[in-house]
Structure 1
Amino acid sequence: MTERILFVDDEPNILDTFRRNLRRAFDVATAEGPEQGLLALESAGPFAVVVSDLRMPVMDGIAFLEHVRERAPDAVRIILSGHGDFATAVAAVNRGAVFRFLTKPCPPEELVGVLRDGLRQHRLVVAERELLRGTLRGSVQVLTDVLALVNPEAFGRSERIRDLVVKLGARLDAKPLWQLELASMLCQLGCVALPPDTLRKRLAGEDLTAEEQQIWGMHPEIAANLLTNIPRLGEVAAMIGAQQLPPGPDVPLGARILRAALDYDVELRRGLSPSLAVAALRVQAERYDPAVLAALAASVADASDVPMREVPLTGLRPGMVLARDLTNAAGTPLLLAGQRLSDASISRLRNLSDILQTDGAAWVVDGVRKGPGA
């Protein structure tokens, strides 16, 4: 994609000069005034560099670049102004996070040099973000693969609550949602350190002894400690570490959502219907955030209207969510309702269908969702 530069000024003749003098070297767009500049960001972006005049009606250049910073954080911001006092330059740097502060009249060769520097800075910002995104995705993939191999029960639980957690987050305006989704995917990571029997009893909804309950209470902290050193996962680790805490102002919203979703999943595994599972949580309302419980009840009510369909094993696709437990001929669950299908689980079902004695079909919820954007 061609890297574009947006010039914003309230004087049309100056914008004409920019277009005429720079069009051979750069892909230039112009906007007359800050309001038109913000519209251009939405309708004609993305822009690698945004150059703004300082003194404009309605909104000055510093305030305009603050909006640019919020809406297009990767865009490199430059002030080009006829007013070059020191206090104004400091305000531009502190509020608008500008890359350069130029004064009019600016020699063409200086402007061209600064624009090229701005484009290079934009490339560095984008490259660093993509590197972090790739590192993050790779790290999460490794961790979920390890969890699936070492403790498939815990992995299945995190997969079952994933869609529900995202829906609750959307209802409660939890941002960014990708952090909450990652927290749901990794919230059971600490279970790799738990005794298998303790985990089995907990996931089956059986009562734990005092000693087992103490051991179970350790897994959020174990997971949080594992995640703390991974770039950009600090807030995800905080959600996971607090997932068993009672609601309070110091407990992240993501942790409160996790707690309700995980306990709801336990009630489902006890054999309760979705509506009765919500009612069971409401009996212990002091354990949960009232807003989260209300969002859970609404999501469960909406889910009752979601269409299901029966799909042969050959028609299963990664990302589909099981609407019912997938069992073998003896009634033993192979995959549980709410679990998202992956390439690995689909391959296992197809390759071992005779051994596993499946009936060759599964009930799934319509729609395939993609993974989290990081």
Structure 2
Amino acid sequence: MKKLISIILCMAMLAGVLAFAGCKNNKDNQDTTAASTGIDAVNAANTTEPSADSTAAESSTAKETKPSSRPTQTVPAAATTDAQVVTLPTNSTEKPDDGSSTGWNGAGNYKCGSGSGKLAPGEYYIVKTSSNYSALLWDGKKKDDKGQPLAYDITIDGTHTLVTLESGYELYISGCKFINTVSEHPKAVNGKYAPGTYKIGRDIQKGEYIIKKTSGAYGGLSFKKSVNPYVQNVASDFKMVDVSVYYTLSKDGYVHITGCELYDAASHDMASIGCDGTTPAMYKVGKDIKTGTYTITPDGSGKSYYAVYKNSTDASGSARIVETRITKATNVAVSDGEYIWFYRASMKYCQNPNSGLDFDATAASE
């Protein structure tokens, strides 16, 4: 009987301890049991191991979608627009300036709508004239909790940008000039497109281009359907580059060039942008380099790769040799019309491919 009472008392004490631990209150007397249980549930879900079937399926998918082991280049998160919401400056209450819908406009405050002195609704081409610039766009409606107007602070990443104005919008400009795109719009200079935003089909045509990386941790192209900051417009489609490459522009809408320059491939080759056939880049066989066998030598970083593509329209889908990491000098044969790309390595033309690696090879373009 004493043993039975002892067992019952122990069980009661254990239940009390568990109840106390499970219902422990925080300093504000708020029950934390639910939150704790939720965290445990999440942790349990996160630590569940996949079945053999799911692991095999995931492995198969990974091989199909990413044949290369090269680390994926980090792409910055896409913003809803390329502008930030800010409170308008105090001088925004001043009388609007008279705007021209056909000629260039300078610094000032402008309203969009019908009537004398107002800008006609439409698309405008804003060109940065000073590093100390400001371009604010307000729809005439959005305000903060104090009733102050909230506008979009438009970022001009490059030489210029494009923006759509609707009736009722107000534009506040300094360090810039702007004009309706019916009268003037961005375009190439000698086949080169500077960083900025372009409308595909008007400012820049579809076709093959060379993307020359110029600066920053990343560079490339992003695409979107609208240049109105008030339109939900997530630029989720990117073409990022770590070396200069060929690229076929085939999308609609707008393309934004950042951290690089775009060259018309019909009037430029890799040599014209500083790539001599030996330095990391993508080269077109028969144009930049001749048909034959090349020796690719890694730089010793352990991050050297190469690939061979059939075209620049769908590089990943047309790969004859997918991105492959190399740790020693490798011979690669290429044919006319193909594209060879390499990263963190050097390349030379191999004079005697049948005798093995030719470390005294001539330059690729010779």
Question: So what's the TM-score if we normalise by structure 1?
Answer: 0.21
Q: As a proportion of its length, which structure holds more strand?
A: 2
Q: As a proportion of its length, which structure holds more helix?
A: 1
Structure label with greater radius of gyration: 2
